[in-house]
Homo-oligomer: A and B are copies of this chain.
Amino acid sequence: MGRIGQVHLKSISNRIENAEVVAVMNPSERGQSFARNYHVGEISSDPDVVFNNDEVEAVLICSPSDTHAEYIQRAAQAGKAIFCEKPLDLSLSKIQEILDVTEKHQVPLMVAFNQRFDPDFAKINSMVTDGEIGDLRMIKITSRDPSPPPIDYIKSSGGMFLDMTIHDFDMARYIANSEVSEVYAVGKNLVDPAIGEAGDIDSAVVILKFENSVTAVIENSRQAAYGYDQRLEVFGSKGMALADHTKKDNHVLLNEGGIHQSRPMDFFMDRYVDSYLNELNAFIQAIASGKPQPVTGDDGLKATKIALAANQSMKENRPVKPEP
Contacts and interface: CB of A to CB of B under 8 A. Distances in A.
Interface of A: 10, 13-15, 39, 119-120, 123-124, 127, 132, 134-135, 137-138, 140, 144, 184, 186, 188, 190-191, 203, 205, 207, 209, 213, 215, 217, 219, 221, 223-227, 229, 235, 237-244, 246-247, 249-264, 317-319
What is the copy number of this chain in the assembly?
4
Nearest to A17: B37
- Considering residues A215, A221, A223, A259, which has the most beta carbons from chain B within 10 angstroms of its beta carbon? A259
Contacts of A259: 226, 247, 260-264
A307 to B, nearest CB: 18
A252 to B, nearest CB: 4
A132 B253 contact: yes
A258 B260 contact: yes
Contacts of A262: 123, 258-259
Closest 4 CB pairs of A and B: A14-B14, A239-B255, A226-B254, A259-B261
A226 B244 contact: no
A320 to B, nearest CB: 11
Given A205-B215, A257-B260, 18 more contacts: A13-B14, A14-B14, A14-B15, A127-B253, A132-B253, A132-B255, A134-B225, A137-B188, A186-B207, A205-B217, A225-B238, A238-B255, A241-B254, A242-B254, A243-B252, A244-B250, A246-B250, A259-B260
A118 to B, nearest CB: 10
A254 B236 CA distance: 10
B219 A138 contact: yes
Nearest to A251: B123
A139 to B, nearest CB: 11
A207 B209 contact: no
